[in-house]
Structure 1
Amino acid sequence: MKNEIMRMDRVTLIEDEVTLLDDFNLHIFQGEIMGLVCINSDGQDALVNLICQNIPIHYGYIYFDEKLVNSYRHSSMEPNRVSVIEEKSHMAEALSVADNIFVLRRGFKKYLISPRILRAQLSLFTQELDVAIDADEAAGKLTHFQRCVAELLKAVINGVKLVVLRDISNFLGPADLNHFLKLLRHYSKEGLSFLYICNHHEETFRICDRVALMENGRVRKLLFKEDFRDEIVLHYALDFRHSLAPPAGSDPRTGMLKFRRLFTDHIHDMNCTIEEGECAVLLDSNSLVLNDLAALMTGDLFPQAGKILLSARDWRSNHKRLKHAVSFVRENPIESMLFSEMSYLDNLCFSLDWRFPTLWMSRRIKRSILREYEPLIGKDIHAQDITHLSPYSLYNLVYYRIHLYHPKVVFLMQPFAGADMYLRRHLIHLINQLRERKITVVILAVSLSDSLLVADRLLMFEDGHLRKEYLRDEFHLLSYAPCRSLLPPSEKQADLKPLSEPFFDMQAFYP
């Protein structure tokens, strides 16, 4: 009989008269990797907080390690033996890896600490896992993959019973993700339990033992391995197939943006061309290339060797004149790209200032913009305070600002990271709106997410080198990609040669 690590029985949680969890039921067994697919984000944060700490609930019972730890009658506020691994670090970044793992833990009572002993202890774990981590390295200098491994080891050494993984494919590249998933399987066989939270059912199908579909704070469907089929999930999730057809691109022979023999600290001999009007996805399997590429296109970094050509002009020598032809949408842009003290319309017009220096003094121009964009945006365009608007309206503001500015090319940094299913579908619509304006779209990503639904071409980087390139009618050949089932084979499939060496293969680890 399986030991039950966590059971949430008919849990209801209400905050500020908003129901965050509604009759929520979830069981996790020892050694199990339990998947949780969030159709929308409602209740996800509340669920993770409740799993970690026994805060008051309005109804229901919570059992941890087969003991009642929380109920509507009494909440102890005590923490559970749970660890969370997510994009945000949970380590003391100024301390070394060894100190974080061995010293900052419950029950550690030594007054004299030997760094040599700590290094030796860590080496026993890293050698077993075939992972290279410097015990003396400051935690803040670790890569995403090394930090996730360190947090996993800390959980194991602290005797944690359950590890919650939140959207790790949004910040771990495919190669690192594959390696990390091997570690999850290794520790699950030793009895450690995992709750794998993400937004793609295809991702959980290849990793998890069971999968729960969550929407509006309630589990709508529990799937066992025999139920891992797309047609079952589509009864509960949004159907993206109607959003698959992107606008037709421009002449594919113009070569609007070119990278020629490009070298930086992390980019090695990059040769590729982005065509005018297309949507290209640059997938970085090791999370090395994207930061350098973003710094190159903002002018914060220039190549050690090679050239970047924009509209046949050298980027380095013409940077001051060409920089206004390039725009960026950062990851989580509604927090990093908007000004809360400005109105919606002023935020929308913000980027136009360099083209129209008198914009802020011309009511006529602003009225014209308002009339043009109100049918697209709606009444929110009149808002003087944007802090109370929904995320959907704020994403409209970010993308329609680019739409109005009309650059030659826009770089989107991980546009789908952290977005629930409804927001992802809305983002696909907004990206297609940019393409209808003949704006070239380059998506910089460490995971495929829904990028293939809008892409014309996929460029895959590994260890700083451009390794493979796929056209749209070849996407179905990828060994693993979220929403792969929504990418039907091309009519030319018979003419395509199968890939003998897939770029990454999840099935190799989890048959």
Structure 2
Amino acid sequence: MMHMEIPTQHEQPGRPLIEVDDVWKAFGATKALNGVNLQVQAGRTHALVGRNGAGKSTLVSTMTGLVVPDKGQILFDGEPAPSVRTPKKWQEKVACVYQHRRLVPQLSVAENLLLNNFPVHGSRITWKDVYSQADAMLGAWGIDVDPRKEASSLSVEDAQLVEIVRALSGGSRFVILDEPTAQLVSSGIRRLFKELLRLQEAGVTFLYISHHLDEIEELCQDVTVLRNGRVVATAPVEDMPQDKIVAAMVGDAQYASVDRRRENSVLAHHGGVPAIHLDKVKVEELEEPVTLSVAPGEVLGIAGHAGSGSRHLAASLVGLVPLVSGRVLLGGKPANVSTPARAIAAGIGYVPEDRHREGYVPMLSIEDNIATSVLPRLGRWGFVKPQERRRLASNLSQELDVACSSTDQAVGSLSGGNQQKVVLARAMASRPEVLILVHPTAGVDVASKDTLFDAIERERQRGVAVIIVSDEVDELRGCDRVLAFMRGRHVKSFGSTWEAREIVAAMEGVEEHV
């Protein structure tokens, strides 16, 4: 591999490389950023932390030229940021590497690095120069990756390093890393950190966004905490121990869950047989098997960020992710949940985290979406009775207060809250004995959120076992128990009464301060 001298960037001593100056941003009635001030010094790694909805994504969008602030400004090395109409000038100032890889998997590393900027001779791409330039780009930053390798074959950490090199190739020496370890195992994290520290020594400045406070303590020099669109703390990492960061993230929020005595009563009423029991269930993202039971009429919360294994565990119970080992019992009997159809037939309803990609078909009507999972039950000999389908959709739409002109209306034309109601209605259509809900109120308004919670409570009263998977404390407030997951392991259990800081601390890995 060719090697080049690592490029440097000259900044005036003491002047921030990037400065967010009194930035405000609202989306309709939602105030995402409220007078945010942030300074990132050159050659340092600055952590940005906060719970979901704190404003991190909006702040990053303003710092990368994707969103124009309503008020305030972004400064690079003391100069105002370029116009959002000049993306190439932004690329010279800042780059962002997201947790989900954005390389084109079918192309080589070299092709991804030089995409839209291939060296040509006449009208033909000169492949010798493509690989030579890519080799030089990787070598300039000491990244040992074969430029001829197909991107799809890269490890997660190699893919992220290639994306960092691509980001730096635009001229910027300031890189925003958004949850870079979410998909990494421990060995990958160690390697990534080693490379990031070396790049920092070479003059690269990082804004590091992570839910894992141990990473921030190890890698970062400064930390800023966002809460409700405001900066509530900024300090050197050495002055902000993990429990202090958690306290700043949570503020005064405290939630006590419902009385756990109801759990004991429903268990006794059903003879002590769990509605669902996981017997040493192991899936790819879990470091160790999980054994747990949920009683009829009990609500179990599983708290964990992306990469904790919580979402993979939920997906494995409805046939979206294969079980590596273990078994699932429903009503005390082994159940086949290897496909979504079999999971539905066995008595499991499911609400996915991303309703737009997995929850509904936007062009189809409310009626069609709700009936999708239960069509064989709405007729005989392969024929669906239209009146039965219409009655089902009408009843569930009324129960969930779906605001629509009729059940013939396309789901894609509904508001986000009403779309989510339709997704829950589809899960309820089969009258399941177990409901698995992943982040069930994501991106919905307060009124819709209350309606969804009311519907979940009615299902619980009907004797349905409910599992809520979320990293939002507010979504876990009605749970009888909460199990916290982190990096593929169940790390802590909570009963019916807890404080928000305890759940957040467990998800962040700050167990010793809980």
Counterpart in the other structure of 1:351: 373
1:9 aligns with 2:21: yes
Aligned equivalents of 1:151, 1:422: Cα separation in 2: 38
1:373 aligns with 2:400: yes
How much has 1:332 moved relative to structure 2?
Answer: 0.8
Alpha carbons 1:11, 1:24 under 8 Å: kept: yes
Alpha carbons 1:83, 1:155 under 8 Å: kept: yes
Counterpart in the other structure of 1:332: 354
Alpha carbons 2:349, 2:435 under 8 Å: kept: yes
1:472 aligns with 2:487: no
One-letter amino acid of the counterpart of residue 430, structure 2: Y
One-letter amino acid of the counterpart of residue 331, structure 2: S
Distance 1:183 1:245, change over 3 A: farther
Alpha carbons 1:282, 1:458 under 8 Å: kept: yes
Distance 1:436 1:404, change over 3 A: farther
Distance 1:425 1:398, change over 3 A: same
Aligned equivalents of 1:392, 1:328: Cα separation in 2: 17
Counterpart in the other structure of 2:223: 210
Counterpart in the other structure of 2:94: 82
1:224 aligns with 2:244: no
Alpha carbons 1:256, 1:275 under 8 Å: kept: yes
1:310 aligns with 2:307: no
Deviations 1:63-116 (A, max 9, x none): 213333437xx9655323322122443323223346545x55989899446689
5 Å-filtered alignment, 1:106-505, equals: 111-112=128-129, 118=135, 125=142, 137-142=149-154, 144-155=156-167, 160-167=172-179, 184=196, 187-188=199-200, 191-197=203-209, 209-213=222-226, 215=228, 219=230, 221-224=232-235, 228=244, 239-242=253-256, 248-249=262-263, 250-251=266-267, 253-258=272-277, 270=289, 272-277=291-296, 278=298, 279=300, 281=302, 294=315, 297-298=318-319, 307-316=327-336, 323-324=344-345, 325-344=347-366, 347-357=369-379, 360-362=386-388, 366-374=393-401, 379=403, 384-412=409-437, 415=439, 429=453, 433=457, 435-442=460-467, 450=473, 454=479, 456=481, 458=483, 470-473=492-495, 483-485=500-502
How much has 1:139 moved relative to structure 2?
Answer: 1.9
Distance 1:63 1:256, change over 3 A: same
Counterpart in the other structure of 2:48: 35
Deviations 1:423-475 (A, max 9, x none): 99879947953545443345678xx5648764736486978xxx656432599
TM superposition score normalised by structure 1: 0.65
Counterpart in the other structure of 1:67: 79
Aligned equivalents of 1:269, 1:155: Cα separation in 2: 36
Aligned equivalents of 1:280, 1:119: Cα separation in 2: 50
Aligned equivalents of 1:487, 1:157: Cα separation in 2: 37
How much has 1:162 moved relative to structure 2?
Answer: 2.0
Secondary structure of the 2:378 match is: coil
Distance 1:203 1:312, change over 3 A: same
Secondary structure of the 1:254 match is: coil
Aligned equivalents of 2:449, 2:301: Cα separation in 1: 18
Structure 1 alignment gaps of length 5 or more: 128-132, 477-481, 489-501
Deviations 1:361-382 (A, max 9, x none): 14555554444333xx5x4585
Aligned equivalents of 2:168, 2:437: Cα separation in 1: 37
How much has 1:407 moved relative to structure 2?
Answer: 1.6
Deviations 1:316-368 (A, max 9, x none): 59987764212333331234222323444654454343433356314555554
How much has 1:51 moved relative to structure 2?
Answer: 2.7
Q: How many residues align?
A: 466
Aligned equivalents of 1:25, 1:32: Cα separation in 2: 17
Alpha carbons 1:173, 1:287 under 8 Å: kept: no
Alpha carbons 2:337, 2:343 under 8 Å: kept: no
Distance 1:17 1:120, change over 3 A: closer
Deviations 1:170-222 (A, max 9, x none): 65578866875676566456543333457x7979985672325365xx64645
Aligned equivalents of 2:190, 2:445: Cα separation in 1: 23
Distance 1:42 1:474, change over 3 A: closer
Aligned equivalents of 1:61, 1:156: Cα separation in 2: 23
One-letter amino acid of the counterpart of residue 422, structure 2: L
Distance 1:266 1:49, change over 3 A: closer
Identical aligned pairs, as a percentage? 16
Structure 2 alignment gaps of length 5 or more: 1-12, 121-125
How much has 1:395 moved relative to structure 2?
Answer: 2.5
How much has 1:33 moved relative to structure 2?
Answer: 0.9
Secondary structure of the 2:103 match is: coil
How much has 1:156 moved relative to structure 2?
Answer: 5.2
Aligned equivalents of 2:157, 2:36: Cα separation in 1: 32
Aligned equivalents of 1:360, 1:211: Cα separation in 2: 57
TM superposition score normalised by structure 2: 0.65
How much has 1:35 moved relative to structure 2?
Answer: 1.4
One-letter amino acid of the counterpart of residue 326, structure 1: I
Aligned equivalents of 1:266, 1:44: Cα separation in 2: 25
One-letter amino acid of the counterpart of residue 319, structure 2: T
Aligned equivalents of 2:342, 2:133: Cα separation in 1: 56
Counterpart in the other structure of 2:6: none
